[in-house]
Amino acid sequence: MKYVFHPAALTEYSEAVEFYAERRVELAQAFVNSIEDAIFRITQSPTRWVVVEEDIRRCLTRKFPYGILYTIEEDYVLILAVMHCSREPGYWKERVTEKPSDG
């Protein structure tokens, strides 16, 4: 199954990569690998991960305190947030009604 980032989720992801890159490039690469691994696991078995609210699911990354929040759409997974686990819960909720464009 393919996946699409909500624009705000992609921004979060980019900012987190920058944060880790400022500390060490190797740390940033490990973070990217961790996120990519979680996305791969999601796309291989989208219904496997816990439902946190209505049809929104969360997959936790390995080694980093991040969760990927997503919904399962008709033919793709929509990634709503790349969320640090210490962030305020629910900050991403307005993204549920905002669907990214297909372009």
pLDDT by residue (tens digit) across 12-42? 999 999 999 999 999 999 999 999 999 999 9
Into how many domains does the chain fold? 1
User: Tell me, what CATH number does 41's domain have?
Assistant: 3.30.2310.20
| Whether pLDDT at 43 is above 80 | yes
Structural domain boundaries enclosing 50: 2-87
| In a domain? residue 100 | no
| In a domain? residue 97 | no
Chain centroid, CA 101 distance in Å: 18
pLDDT of residue 85: 82
| In a domain? residue 93 | no
- Give Cα separations from 83 to 14, 74, 75, 102, 103 (angstroms): 12, 24, 23, 23, 24
pLDDT of residue 103: 42
| In a domain? residue 101 | no
Least Cα distance to 80 among 25, 19, 27, 49 occurs for 49
| In a domain? residue 67 | yes
Count the neighbouring beta carbons within 10 Å of the beta carbon of residue 56. Answer: 19
Which two tokens mark 74? 């008709």
| In a domain? residue 82 | yes
- Is 69 in contact with 83 (CB distance < 8 Å)? yes
| In a domain? residue 94 | no
Alpha helices in the chain (DSSP H): 7-23, 25-44
According to DSSP, the residues that pair with 59 across neighbouring strands are 68
pLDDT of residue 98: 59
